[in-house]
Structures are given as structure tokens and as C-alpha cells.
């Protein structure tokens, strides 16, 4: 009997401890009810309509209107896909989200939500539907500003995305698949994330469930402040897979203010082509650790060239802000107004230097085609090279250089990543203008450290780190 009572007491103690633990855990988890109640009125649904020309069902047959074989079977009566009328424009609709940033009708969303739209309709939380005008959009940051003709709208409070920390709770409100004002929550997985083709946005990565229709909606911190615009997901299935990306609100508002005031976005332009600094390249430039942005080439008409920046310089700071890697530089320069003076801290020839540059305005860019190759000559380093004539050098915009026509797969050049067709213009900071000069310079290279090699590939300049062995 006593043993039974002791066992019962033990089970009661365990049950009490478990209940206390569950209660404590519940208190630790955030409650989003108050946040949603306050913020939901400022979140909107955005639907767009785009008119496209009806596609001929037989388009794609080499430009012929209808192949003769089909005329043989159908005469002049050709089948039309269901839902289409021959020759009649078709309407295509899409859905997204947005949020109100001012009570006089300005709304922020993603540029891709309204791209190409002929008609934009905004549905408010109170079920009113209002036509919207596109004030402006910026494809590079995927930010757009809309305007509806009404007053006294509920607005959202904007936070400071620079204060976000990895691991903190965030929530999203949007219209995934058209389900208005759906709420999802998660944590900040990473900050300052770089995505392909998005050099100007330091994305916030979260595990908040985002799906088609959430685009353009707000991302909130626990204080109910907007800290980002939900923009992209990484997916192999078309749906949410745990990787969501939001545009920081500080970046978005800078763009939105320019769109509201000027109708377009101006960005600072340095006029350089950059590449990452690898550990071997850092060693070859006399740096303790790999950081900064390596200048691989300069626009001869750009502000960097005019200010004395050189290929091979490693930019470490912009106005005191550290350049952690090559993806950081475009953001720091792009958010600075054209015409501004910025001070660059850089590494050149193993020494730190300061250089002031007056930024230009971002121009349209293009690629310079590569030149043609010639017959070969012999050089060291496991490469066979040929010299360039005056026309080829002029085409590349270079004064010297030799073209690599063959690479020994087991040589140092192959290990460094050099390829046939590359134009080698300098090695260990020494210009190369002929095959014999390359042989001389290569014979003097050290074997205890990596050295930088500058080359042109497909019309673009880049550096690689080459390390010789004692063999």
C-alpha cells in the first residue's frame, strides 16, 4: 500500500513538472494575435490584369501561319485551344500583396507583382476595391509604389531592418493563392544574404511560409513594425520549402522615396568590374585574410578610373563602412547618390591607401567581345601563348598581353584556373606584353606564396591566384 502511494506521489510530481514545463514553454512562444489585429487593416490584396495578343495555335512552325499539311485536313477551319477566340486579345490576371505606407493612398509592393499590368486593383481589409496607379517601380530592388485615390487609410509602422538579428521571431501577412490576410510566422534565418542577379539587395532570409500571392506583403517583427517586403522563395516544387527572402525595409523605403519624389531611382556608379578575394589571392596581395572587393577592370570613362583607382586594388571600406566581400560593394555604392564624394580605403601593392572618388550615375552597360587567337609560341607555367597584334589589343582596350592557346592539365596554370583563350596581361603585378617577357617574369616567381595573375576572359577582366611548386 505504501509503495503504491509512493508511486502515485512520484507520478503526480512528474505530471506537475511536465505541466509547469509546458506552461513555461508556452510563455516563451510569441503570441501574434495583438500584432495581427493592429496590422491587418494596413495590408492589402493586389490583383492585376494584363492584355496579351491571342496566340495563333500554330505559331512556332518556323514563322508560317499554318503548315500545308494542316490545311489539307482542316481547310480554313483550324482548331482553337479552349477558352481562346481567334484574333481576340486575352486577359491574364495575377495576384499579390502590398501594404499602406501613407494615409493618403501610397502603397508598397514588389515590382514583379505589377510588371506589365494594364490594370491594377487594390482590395482593402474592409473589402473596398480601388483602382491603383503605378507611381514607379525599380526592377533592381523589386520595389514598386502604387497610389489609390482616397484618404484616411490605416498605415503600418515601419521598423529599422538594420537592427534585425538572426534567430528573432518574425511574421508575414499576405494573400497566398488568393487567401486574403493569411498569417504565417517563423524566425530570421540569416541577414545580408546575396542572391543571383540581385546585387543591390541584402536580403533577409527567414523560414516564414511564403507562397505565390505573398509577394509584396509585409514582414513584421514582434513589435508590429514592418522590417521587410516578402519577395522571393527558393523552391524545387513551386511551393514553400523553408527558404524565404525579404527586402529590408530600409532599402525599400529609400527606393520608395525616390519613386514618389522623382518617379525613378538614381544610384551611384563607380565604374569597376569586381571579383571575390580568395584566400590565395589575399595572400598574393599581402593581406592577412580574404575580404574586400578586388578590382578586376575599370571603365576607362568611369569615375574610378578618373580618380586613380587601378586594376588589382582591393577595396576594403567605403566611407568607413567595411566591404566584407565583393557583394557588399555594389550595395554601398548603389545607395549613395550620384555626384557624392566617397572615400575608399584600399590595399595596393601590399599597402593600405585612401582614395576619394566622385560617383557617377548608373549607365547602361554592355559586354566587350573577346578577340581572336593566333598561332602559338612557348612560355613557362604550363601554358602555350601567342602574342597579340595591335588590332587585337585595341579591340580589348589593352596595351600588352598574350593569349593562352594551350594549358598543360598538370601545370600550375591549370590548377589556378587558366584556360585556352584567356589573355594574360600581368603576373605578380608586372605587365606582360610578349611571350619572352612572360618567360622571364615566370622564372623569377617565388614558390612559397601565391601570386596574382590578371587576365581577360570573354571580354571581362579578372584575377586568379597562381602558386608555383618546387617541382
Q: What is the pLDDT of residue 74?
A: 46
Q: What is the pLDDT of residue 335?
A: 86
CA distance 292 to 282: 9
Residues assigned a catalytic role:
112, 142, 215
Contacts of 311 (CB under 8 A, 6+ apart): 295, 296, 297, 298, 454, 461
Q: Specify the DSSP class assigned to residue 353.
A: E
Q: What is the pLDDT of residue 361?
A: 87
Q: What is the pLDDT of residue 293?
A: 92
Homologous superfamily (CATH) for 268-361: PDZ domain (2.30.42.10)
Closest CA to 310 of 429, 432, 455: 429
Phi, psi of 370 (to 5 degrees): -75, 160
Q: pLDDT digit of tens for each residue in the chain (471 aa)? A: 555 555 656 666 676 666 666 655 555 789 999 999 999 999 999 999 987 665 555 544 444 444 554 444 444 554 555 555 555 667 778 889 999 999 999 999 999 999 889 999 999 999 999 999 999 999 889 999 999 999 899 999 999 999 999 999 999 999 999 898 999 999 999 998 888 667 789 999 999 999 999 999 999 999 999 999 999 988 777 778 889 999 999 999 999 999 999 888 888 989 888 888 989 999 988 898 999 999 988 888 889 999 999 989 999 999 999 999 888 898 899 889 899 999 999 999 889 999 999 999 876 433 222 222 233 334 458 787 777 777 777 777 788 888 887 777 667 888 888 888 889 989 988 888 887 788 778 878 887 788 899 988 887 888 999 888 665
Q: What is the pLDDT of residue 138?
A: 92
Torsion, Cα of 430, 432, 438, 441 (10° steps): -10
Q: Are 448 and 461 in contact (CB under 8 A)?
A: no
CATH says 377-467 is which class? mainly beta
Q: What is the pLDDT of residue 154?
A: 96
Q: For the chain, where do the domains classified as CATH 2.30.42.10 start and end?
A: 268-361, 377-467
Query: 221: helix, coil or strand?
Result: coil
Q: What angle do CA 192, 196, 197 make, to 5 degrees?
A: 105
Q: What is the pLDDT of residue 83?
A: 56
Q: What is the pLDDT of residue 234?
A: 84
CA distance 34 to 350: 56
CATH number for domain 161-262, candidates 2.40.10.10, 2.60.40.1080, 2.70.70.10, 2.40.50.140: 2.40.10.10
Can you give the pTM of this predicted structure? 0.67
CA distance 464 to 467: 10
Q: Are strands 198-206 and 244-248 parallel, antiparallel or unpaired?
A: antiparallel
Q: How many Cα atoms occupy the beta-carbon half-sphere of 279 within 13 Å?
A: 0
CB atoms closer than 10 angstroms to residue 376: 16
Query: 270: helix, coil or strand?
Result: coil
Amino acid at each position: 500500500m505504501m509503495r503504491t502511494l509512493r508511486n502515485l506521489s512520484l507520478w503526480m510530481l512528474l505530471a506537475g513538472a511536465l505541466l509547469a514545463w509546458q506552461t513555461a514553454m508556452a510563455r516563451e512562444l510569441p503570441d501574434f494575435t495583438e500584432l495581427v489585429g493592429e496590422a491587418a487593416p494596413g495590408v492589402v490584396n493586389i490583383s492585376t490584369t494584363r492584355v496579351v495578343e491571342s496566340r495563333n495555335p500554330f505559331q512556332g512552325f518556323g514563322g508560317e501561319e499554318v503548315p500545308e499539311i494542316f490545311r489539307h485536313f482542316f481547310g480554313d477551319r483550324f482548331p482553337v485551344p479552349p477558352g481562346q477566340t481567334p484574333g481576340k486579345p486575352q486577359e491574364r490576371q495575377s495576384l499579390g500583396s502590398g501594404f499602406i505606407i501613407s494615409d493618403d493612398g501610397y502603397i508598397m509592393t514588389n515590382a514583379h507583382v505589377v510588371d506589365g499590368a494594364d490594370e491594377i486593383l487594390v482590395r482593402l481589409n474592409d473589402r473596398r476595391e480601388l483602382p491603383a496607379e503605378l507611381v514607379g517601380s525599380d526592377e533592381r530592388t523589386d520595389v514598386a509604389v502604387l497610389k489609390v485615390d482616397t484618404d484616411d487609410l490605416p498605415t503600418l509602422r515601419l521598423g529599422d531592418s538594420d537592427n534585425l538579428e538572426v534567430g528573432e521571431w518574425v511574421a508575414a501577412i499576405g494573400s497566398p493563392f488568393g487567401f486574403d490576410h493569411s498569417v504565417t510566422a517563423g524566425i530570421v534565418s540569416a541577414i545580408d544574404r546575396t542572391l543571383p542577379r540581385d546585387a543591390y539587395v541584402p536580403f533577409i532570409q527567414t523560414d516564414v511560409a511564403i507562397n505565390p500571392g505573398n509577394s509584396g506583403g509585409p514582414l513584421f517583427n514582434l513589435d508590429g513594425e514592418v522590417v521587410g517586403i516578402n519577395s522571393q522563395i527558393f523552391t524545387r516544387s513551386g511551393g514553400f520549402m523553408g527558404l524565404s527572402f525579404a527586402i529590408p525595409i530600409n532599402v525599400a523605403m529609400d527606393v520608395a522615396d525616390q519613386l514618389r519624389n522623382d518617379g525613378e531611382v538614381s544610384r551611384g556608379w563607380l565604374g569597376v568590374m569586381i571579383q571575390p578575394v580568395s584566400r590565395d589571392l589575399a595572400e598574393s596581395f599581402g593581406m592577412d585574410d580574404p575580404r574586400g572587393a578586388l578590382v578586376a577592370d575599370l571603365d576607362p570613362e568611369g569615375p574610378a578610373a578618373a580618380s586613380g583607382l587601378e586594376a588589382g586594388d582591393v577595396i576594403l571600406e567605403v566611407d568607413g563602412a567595411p566591404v566584407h566581400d565583393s557583394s557588399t560593394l555594389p550595395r554601398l555604392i548603389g545607395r549613395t547618390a550620384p555626384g557624392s564624394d566617397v572615400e575608399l580605403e584600399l590595399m595596393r601593392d601590399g599597402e593600405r591607401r585612401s582614395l576619394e572618388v566622385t560617383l557617377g550615375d548608373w549607365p547602361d552597360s554592355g559586354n566587350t567581345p573577346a578577340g581572336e587567337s593566333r598561332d602559338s609560341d612557348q612560355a613557362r607555367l604550363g601554358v602555350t601563348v601567342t602574342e597579340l597584334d595591335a588590332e587585337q589589343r585595341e579591340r580589348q582596350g589593352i596595351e600588352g598581353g598574350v593569349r593562352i592557346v594551350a594549358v598543360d592539365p598538370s601545370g600550375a596554370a591549370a590548377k589556378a584556373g587558366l584556360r585556352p583563350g584567356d589573355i594574360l596581361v600581368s603576373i605578380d603585378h608586372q605587365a606582360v606584353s610578349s611571350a619572352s617577357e612572360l618567360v622571364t617574369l615566370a622564372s623569377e616567381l617565388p614558390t612559397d606564396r601565391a601570386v596574382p595573375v590578371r587576365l581577360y576572359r570573354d571580354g571581362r577582366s579578372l584575377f586568379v591566384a597562381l602558386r608555383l611548386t618546387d617541382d
